[in-house]
Structure 1
């Protein structure tokens, strides 16, 4: 529910710094993003909710001048608190939740071999390995270069049979882990991943602003003027179409990317997890399943990653980031949550780093400490 920092047990001055810091992100000569939304709270209270910058500002990117080509000023569209963003890898969290739901129902064994259901996968790789990125699978494959589904699967199964990404058991972040997990879930349930997410998560929780694309562009933040050589495909300015080229090539519904959402919807997800798997009288996970997801080292969730969690890290904070500029963090130790959504890749992808994410999280941590 909306409230004040004081009502949430948070220091108003530090929450003010959090909001002012996010509002500054689209400004200056080298802005971190075109636009952003932040939502932060503690317990059931939303203590901060703000929007800044532009959901759409550019019509293209000019590589010769290394700058965006702006739309006429009257066609710029401001970010609003309800603007929909491409979540990029934050989508992985939803795939992880679906997997744990299926484990609860006895359809999936977290420590069972994936190869029992997908025979092309190397012996020894378990569902837990996929969720913890310890399978040894390569970080990615060029699915975008092969729009034929059979060719894409041939690439995936060749890698899954003999992983090249690193030693089995060692951590190596890989989109392929969540793509293989998607195929496993679809094999076991007979349902597509988008249906599993809708039926198991977004529908019961009333997350009406969360869906896989393509979406009607209105109300959606634009991402990139996607063209070679800086991108992997020539698709033009994207808005409501998934930014990740491999997710696009796989049809827009992929285990590693493809979801779009709002800050309000992600706050509902955070509160659901902080409250042990229930929200508004609806339960989507048992408390033990939530603990399995969030307890170190996490299943699908990153835990205590100071690079984007700032001073919230250290006591079991969990969350994820997305390449397009998105992130969420929830901290059971302080009962706080932070959602920061931005379109850092508008009009062209670049690595802006996670310093603004960490700074926002640190403000929230200090708002707890100073209250």
Structure 2
């Protein structure tokens, strides 16, 4: 069904030309730009090649800073009793160029679940080619396999799952659709413990589950959803799930280190995961960490895939290309669109395409947007695809080595995505630079004193705002005035225009995903001719992060004329946490 295998992908240079009406080629005006989101897919001929960040308009410094944070995650730190992970391998790509591949720490470091370190000679360093158990990133492979069956008209998205697996209709599940499994809106429970059941009862148990909620009424991230889809692929295709993934996804794309149940010949390249006592497996290495997938022979719809950063980057680029990679095609563009479109608008904060999570700031950081797609894995892995900038971020860690109780590696996930986001440029609206506040600490930008002639003045400025503005909270940009030397400040009422700006008057600005400059205006009145100061205050809560905030073209005027033009006189602004930047 698929064509010949494409090898040596990362070392192949391919001229980028438009391959379909949905693809557009690179444009010097958008390369390396965060504020010029691209439309459609990259050409299918786009094949990853190594290169330097500067080749594609990126600033290396934020990437290097992110990599330093990832290195730091391999050791304990103040406020963190244990390392976030024993080892980590990361890859960043933009416009088809791999701009960073780095490995740090150890693939194998510990002897037991308490953290006893192996002798130095028995520890094994992580490398670019280290193979990791990617855990729930497996769900993406299962989803692709399902959509391939949809393309061949063997499966209908809106059909009941019971059409393909009759026994699934038990316990009132006869109306649950394939689409609802893919979007985690089936109503099924989140978890099962199949390893506690006899082998012959495990799949029947999943198929016989009773829903916790009516289908379509709730979002619950559910392993049974994906286990069921794995069974569906096998029933409809007549092949086992691992065989189907191999012949229809990994072999066509040349993903030479990706698949279920890696062979013993690759054992020395595989990162260890957890020392498990229930079930009593000891230090797990080369076998799937997930207990349910392990109990199913290492092959399941929700977990079991092992992979490398190279292979996952190729998969990511394939989807940014609309399903094609070089001469290969695993999905049609319309199917990839369905993976990137939000089917869960009724469940804010749980945006989901067919298989992909969307717009999840807690691990996508500043790359977040309505069509930013990704997935994480319990073992400490993440894959983020940003179609708007045609970027890929892959982080593979063994954060459960030696124990899942040692904590989360979410800070490293965010750091990597944030580093890539900040490496992308937001050039000033005019002039040589703009004022920038990142997403880490409160920052103020304060004018010197000025007086109005008629008591009424107007302020105008351009703003690029990419901040938290979702169910997790709001990171506001406000403009405030003082008439008493800074003892008290009052917010001005702002009106912003531009893509993504909230309509009507507002006291603060917040938003993300639009990636556009806004034009902002406000009026204010003074009494008794006092000396006035204005300040721009950005106040992130540090829970989640965006790309940050730029302001430019700051001007204040009254009826008599100009009171402040910061483009001509930037020295009249005092920054605290803001800095000037040309990108």
- TM-score (normalised: structure 2): 0.60
Shift of 1:147: 3.7
Quote the Cα distance in structure 2 between the aligned partners of 1:264 and 1:207: 8
Question: Among 313, 325, 328, which residue is 1:282 paired with?
Answer: 328
Report the aligned-residue RMSD.
Answer: 1.3
Structure 1 residue 28: Cα displacement: 3.0
Query: Is the 1:308–1:357 Cα contact (8 Å) retained in structure 2?
Result: yes
Match of 1:212 in 2: 260
Deviation at 1:19, TM superposition (A): 1.8
Q: 1:315-354 maps to which residues of 2 (within 5 A)?
A: 315-350=370-405, 351-354=407-410
The answer for the alignment partner of 2:43 in structure 1 is none
Any conservation in 1 of the 2:135–2:302 contact (CA below 8 Å)? Answer: yes
Question: Paired residue for 1:118?
Answer: 165
1:132 touches 1:298 (CA, 8 Å); kept in 2? yes
Match of 2:183 in 1: 132
Counterpart residue number, 1:65: none
Stretches of 4+ aligned residues off by more than 6 angstroms: none
The aligned residue for residue 83 of structure 2 is: 31
Deviates more, 1:203-212 or 1:290-299: 290-299
Kept in 2, the 8 Å contact 1:224–1:243? The answer is yes
The answer on 1:60 being equivalent to 2:95 is no
Choose the corresponding residue for 1:18, options 66, 79, 85: 66
* Equivalent residue number for residue 196 of structure 1: 244
Q: Judge conservation of contact 1:9–1:42 (CA < 8 Å) in 2.
A: no
Q: How far apart in 1 are the matches of 2:315 and 2:262? A: 22
SS in 2 for 1:36: strand
Q: Equivalent residue for 2:154? A: 107
Q: Which has the higher contact order (CA 8 A, sep 6+)?
A: 1
From 169, 175, 179, the counterpart of 2:227: 179
Contact persistence 1:84–1:209 (CA under 8 A) = yes
d(CA) in 1 for partners of 2:251, 2:164: 28
How many residues are matched? 358
Q: Do structure 1's residue 146 and structure 2's residue 197 form an aligned pair? A: yes
Query: After superposition, what is the alpha-carbon deviation per residue over 1:275-299, rounded to whole angstroms, capped at 9, x for unaligned?
Result: 1111121111111111111122311
Structure 1 match to 2:468: none
Conserved 8 A contact 1:141-1:155: no
1:177 Cα deviation after fit? 0.4
Alignment match of 1:270 (pick from 303, 310, 316) = 316
Distance 1:284 1:119 in 2: 28
Secondary structure of the 1:314 match is: coil
TM-aligned CA deviation for residue 303 of structure 1: 0.2
Tell me the residue number matched to 1:366.
422
Contact 2:182 2:226 in 1 (8 A): yes
8 A contact 1:324–1:343 mirrored in 2? yes
CA contact (8 A) 1:5 1:15 kept: no
Deviations 1:260-289 (A, max 9, x none): 000000000011000111112111111111
| Residue in 2 that maps onto 1:46 | 98
Q: Using a 3 Å threshold, how does the CA distance of structure 1 residues 278 and 10 change in structure 2: closer, same or farther?
A: same
Deviation at 1:203, TM superposition (A): 0.2
TM-score with structure 1 length normalisation? 0.94
More strand by share: 2
Does residue 240 in structure 1 map to residue 286 in structure 2?
Answer: yes
Shift of 1:70: 1.4
Provide the rounded CA distance (Å) in 2 between the counterparts of 1:86 and 1:227: 19
Within 2, Cα distance between the matches of 1:211 and 1:323? 17
Q: Deviations over 1:323-366 (max 9, x none)?
A: 00001000000100100000000011133151221121111111
More off after superposition, 253-262 vs 346-355: 346-355
SS of equivalent to 1:329: strand
Alignment of 1:251-270 (within 5 A): 251-270=297-316
Q: Distance in 2 between matches of 1:5 and 1:353?
A: 25
Q: Pick from 365, 368, 371: which aligns with 1:310?
A: 365
**d(CA) in 1 for partners of 2:338 and 2:272?**
35
Higher helix share: 1
Residue 221 (1) aligns with residue 271 (2): yes
Q: Give, in whole Å, the separation in 1 of the partners of 2:303 and 2:252.
A: 21
The unaligned stretches of length 5 or more in structure 1 are: 63-67
> What are the ranges of 5 or more consecutive residues in structure 2 without an aligned counterpart?
1-48, 343-351, 427-582
Post-superposition offset of 1:214: 4.7
